[in-house]
Amino acid sequence: MPRIGVFICWCGTNIAGTVEIEQVVNAARSFPGVVYAGDYRYLCSEVGQKLIKDTIKKENLERVVVGTCSPRMHEVTFRKAVAEAGLNPYLLEVANLREHCSWVHKDPAEATPKAIALVRAAVSKASLDEPLTALMLDVEKRALVIGGGIAGIQAALDIADSGYTVDLVEKEPSIGGRMAQLEKTFPTLDCAACILTPKMVEVAQHPNINLLTYSEVEAVSGFVGQFDVRIRSRARSIDPSKCTGCGICYEKCPAKVPSEFDMELGKRKVIYVPFPQAVPNIPVIDRENCLYFKRGRCRICEKECPAEAIDFEQQDEIIERRYGVILVATGFDSMDLTGYGEYGYGQHPDVLSALQFERLFNASGPTAGQVVRLSNGRPPQRVVFIQCVGSRDIARGQNYCSKICCMFTSKQAILLKEKLPETEAYIFYIDLRTAGKGYEEFQRRAAEEYGVIYLRGSVGKVFPEGERLLVRGVDSLSGRPLEIEADLVVLAAASVPRRDAPELARLMSINSDRYNFFDEAHPKLRPVETHTAGIFIAGACQAPKDIPEAVAQAGAAAAKAVTLLSKEKLQSEACVAKVDPARCSGCLHCEAVCPYGAIAATETEERVRGELLTRTVAEVNPALCQGCGCCTMTCRSGSVTLQGYTDEQMLAEVDALCLQR
């Protein structure tokens, strides 16, 4: 039996006011293994810690039990103190006498026996403590940023400026993301391209940024400091070292398909750059639609290219690389409005989503910047905007508020009025949410200066009447039904996570909420970290947000990432699972449930009737194990146990707590 010392803290009157300290100390003296029991007013103070350290030396203590506040509060403090006295820091147990005892039980006659029971359990557990050592892990000084929208761009630039190499992976042929699709930004009406393009160019030119467009993450393994990632860089069918970006290829290409960048309103060529300011300015061949790849004939681009850059034989490139940290900024999609047939979306050419409408303003958009009705090419005389399409819709859509729609709808109404001052703009809203610097003022300008008409209420149906559209709704302030004739109807579709977000979450073992937005580790205190150490999130992949928020979050996530990258070594979890190979039968059920892929099969040798046989057993990788203990639940023979919470210790605690009624 090891020599155990027990220290009971008064915590001023926090514990001592309810728990009879002397009784607890006296009881502790009688517990098996206890060679010292004492108390102090504030154990966490320097003097208190010195008492512990001195007593460890004086009494030759081999295990320490403190009866104090919650271990979630000061376990680290006391572990440090114990370590300073030369003991392994994991030879310490904490009995929670404050949060779980003195603060919740008012009667000393109840609190004192409970305190004694808790100390008894801690002593029982401590007597079975074994020294544990954490591993010191290397940190790969390289970051991976997934997603090349404004958040990913900002994060990559910030990390790169700190001196670390960054790989920025973007699925599309160009970086820029959603912001690149916007004409202007609220509330300043800055031209989106004017503020975004310089950043995109900076990314391309930054010596520390390695840009991987038209690329996707396929596999992630490893752990903080050492993530091993497989990236597929899809074949562009163009040799980037030869391409000059002259654009002759897409001028000459005979095949056209709907343009994703223009939200399918316009057409693009099959060899294309998504938009004129694309970075990199190197086209890709969309092999699914390319006539040569489909039918084996054409190759016009190849004939026309003056640089001989077209390469039909190019293969996808697989990049396998190690990263210290991963930052996820995959952004959002505009919700698919197929379920909203009552607004005529997808049935009538003059019913558009907000992002489609935005493209009409853009000089390089489907109408070359003309705001016209797609049904007849004439400018609209009246436009009705409907907010909260999908957002705040418990029955069919997303329960949440998409946050940016109130503002971008006002912005689009202003842009419309600037372009076509005579055109009327009506906005149906449920509530107007304009929290943000300059936002409320912006919305008021829309109403007061530009004469945009705001109607509180909802729209039940939009249907064609003659050449126009009839919008039928209710004014919820007056309760009166409303009918408005319109030439264009614009739907503020909810912001939803990217379609492949669940797949990415699974690849990286990060959590998502019920809508598939990635979850932060703590909603208030750890807003850009995930539950998986070393993986950070920024931008609209976490929840809908506007540009300034996304940029701020990207900066914060980059700072967190850099903090990690700047460390020489990272300390791993010490309380990790451990397999007893002699007992393990190798069924590997533990491997199936381990959330970190920390368990794998290994071979062990044993002698059977004089012969050396090998057999399979499970093995824990202590660098990967985070110490949850889920493996132990599946192990029928108890061959895998969790250090710091071993089966013996858990049973000892149960026995100790049950010993005293």
**Stretch of 49-57, 77-85, 386-394, 575-583 lying at the interface with other proteins (CB under 8 A):** 575-583
Cβ contact 308:124 at 8 Å? no
96 touches other proteins by CB under 8 A: yes
Question: Which of 4, 16, 52, 118 touches other proteins (CB under 8 A)?
Answer: 118
Q: For residues 427 and 656, which CB has a smaller minimum distance to other proteins in the complex?
A: 656
Q: How far apart are CA 150 and CA 554, in angstroms?
A: 9
Question: Which of 80, 294, 378, 583 touches other proteins (CB under 8 A)?
Answer: 583
Residue entry with tokens 């509180």: 456
20 touches other proteins by CB under 8 A: no
With CA atoms as reference, report the closest residue to 140 among 597, 564, 560, 556. Answer: 564
Q: How far apart are CA 151 and CA 553, in angstroms?
A: 8
The token pair that represents 236 in the structure block: 């562009």
- The half-sphere exposure of 135 on its side-chain side, counting CA atoms within 13 A, is 15
129 touches other proteins by CB under 8 A: no
584 touches other proteins by CB under 8 A: yes
Residue 34: CB atoms within 10 A of its CB come to: 23
Going edge to edge, which strands form the sheet with 209-212? 209-212, 165-169, 142-146, 325-328, 535-537
Q: For residues 11 and 151, which CB has a smaller minimum distance to other proteins in the complex?
A: 11
Q: For residues 407 and 521, which CB has a smaller minimum distance to other proteins in the complex?
A: 521
CB of 29 to other proteins, least distance (A): 15
Q: Residue 57 contacts by C-beta under 8 Å, 6 or more apart in sequence?
A: 85, 86
With CA atoms as reference, report the closest residue to 178 among 547, 597, 644. Answer: 547
- The half-sphere exposure of 375 on its side-chain side, counting CA atoms within 13 A, is 17
Q: For residues 104 and 368, which CB has a smaller minimum distance to other proteins in the complex?
A: 104
The token pair that represents 515 in the structure block: 């809508």
CB of 20 to other proteins, least distance (A): 13
Q: For residues 447 and 588, which CB has a smaller minimum distance to other proteins in the complex?
A: 588
Backbone angles phi, psi at 126, to 5 degrees: -60, -35
Question: Which of 47, 194, 593, 600 touches other proteins (CB under 8 A)?
Answer: 593
The residues that bridge with 375 in the sheet, in sequence order, are none
Question: Which of 20, 99, 336, 475 touches other proteins (CB under 8 A)?
Answer: 99
The interface with other proteins within residues 167-196 (CB under 8 A) comprises: none
Residue 629: CB atoms within 10 A of its CB come to: 19
The interface with other proteins within residues 520-559 (CB under 8 A) comprises: 531-532
507 touches other proteins by CB under 8 A: no
Instruction: Give the CA distances from residue 561 to residues 174, 506, 525, 533, 540, in Å, rounded to whole numbers and listed in that order.
Output: 24, 21, 16, 10, 18
Question: Which of 477, 525, 582, 612 touches other proteins (CB under 8 A)?
Answer: 582
**Stretch of 191-199, 209-217, 321-329, 581-589 lying at the interface with other proteins (CB under 8 A):** 581-589
Q: How far apart are CA 282 and CA 175, in angstroms?
A: 12
83 touches other proteins by CB under 8 A: no
CB of 69 to other proteins, least distance (A): 9
Residue 265 three-state SS: coil
Q: In terms of residues, how long is the chain?
A: 661
CB of 25 to other proteins, least distance (A): 17
* Full 3-state SS string of 116-175: HHHHHHHHHHHCCCCCCCCCEEECCCEEEEECCCHHHHHHHHHHHHCCCEEEEECCCCCC
**Stretch of 114-122, 153-161, 339-347, 543-551 lying at the interface with other proteins (CB under 8 A):** 114-122
Q: For residues 138 and 519, which CB has a smaller minimum distance to other proteins in the complex?
A: 519
318 touches other proteins by CB under 8 A: no
604 touches other proteins by CB under 8 A: no
With CA atoms as reference, report the closest residue to 408 among 546, 549, 553, 262. Answer: 546
CB of 639 to other proteins, least distance (A): 8
Q: How far apart are CA 578 and CA 651, in angstroms?
A: 18
Backbone angles phi, psi at 543, to 5 degrees: 180, 160
CA dihedral 175→286→347→540, nearest 10 degrees, is: -20
Q: For residues 248 and 658, which CB has a smaller minimum distance to other proteins in the complex?
A: 658
DSSP at 339: G
Question: Which of 100, 145, 192, 515 touches other proteins (CB under 8 A)?
Answer: 100
The interface with other proteins within residues 292-311 (CB under 8 A) comprises: none
Question: Which of 5, 48, 67, 71 touches other proteins (CB under 8 A)?
Answer: 71
CB of 592 to other proteins, least distance (A): 4
Q: For residues 472 and 531, which CB has a smaller minimum distance to other proteins in the complex?
A: 531
Question: Which of 10, 78, 103, 261 touches other proteins (CB under 8 A)?
Answer: 103
Question: Which of 29, 57, 58, 72 touches other proteins (CB under 8 A)?
Answer: 72
Q: How far apart are CA 510 and CA 45, in angstroms?
A: 38
632 touches other proteins by CB under 8 A: yes
Q: For residues 344 and 629, which CB has a smaller minimum distance to other proteins in the complex?
A: 629
Question: Which of 511, 563, 566, 614 touches other proteins (CB under 8 A)?
Answer: 511
**Stretch of 135-143, 224-232, 234-242, 591-599 lying at the interface with other proteins (CB under 8 A):** 591-599
Q: For residues 96 and 226, which CB has a smaller minimum distance to other proteins in the complex?
A: 96
Q: For residues 53 and 114, which CB has a smaller minimum distance to other proteins in the complex?
A: 114
586 touches other proteins by CB under 8 A: yes
Q: How far apart are CA 91 and CA 286, in angstroms?
A: 62
Q: For residues 58 and 583, which CB has a smaller minimum distance to other proteins in the complex?
A: 583
The two beta strands, 142-146 and 271-272, are unpaired
587 touches other proteins by CB under 8 A: yes
Question: Which of 84, 216, 393, 647 touches other proteins (CB under 8 A)?
Answer: 647
**Stretch of 31-39, 155-163, 264-272, 625-633 lying at the interface with other proteins (CB under 8 A):** 625-633
DSSP at 312: T
- The number of residues that bind other proteins (CB under 8 A) is 70
CB of 370 to other proteins, least distance (A): 48
The token pair that represents 611 in the structure block: 């012969």
Phi-psi category of residue 33: left, alpha or beta, with phi > 0 → left and psi -120 to 50 → alpha: left
Binding residues vs other proteins (CB under 8 A): 70-73, 96, 98-101, 103-107, 110-111, 113-114, 117-118, 121, 509, 511, 513-514, 531-532, 575, 582-589, 592-593, 595-596, 608, 613, 616, 626-630, 632-634, 636-639, 642, 645-648, 650-651, 653-655, 657-661
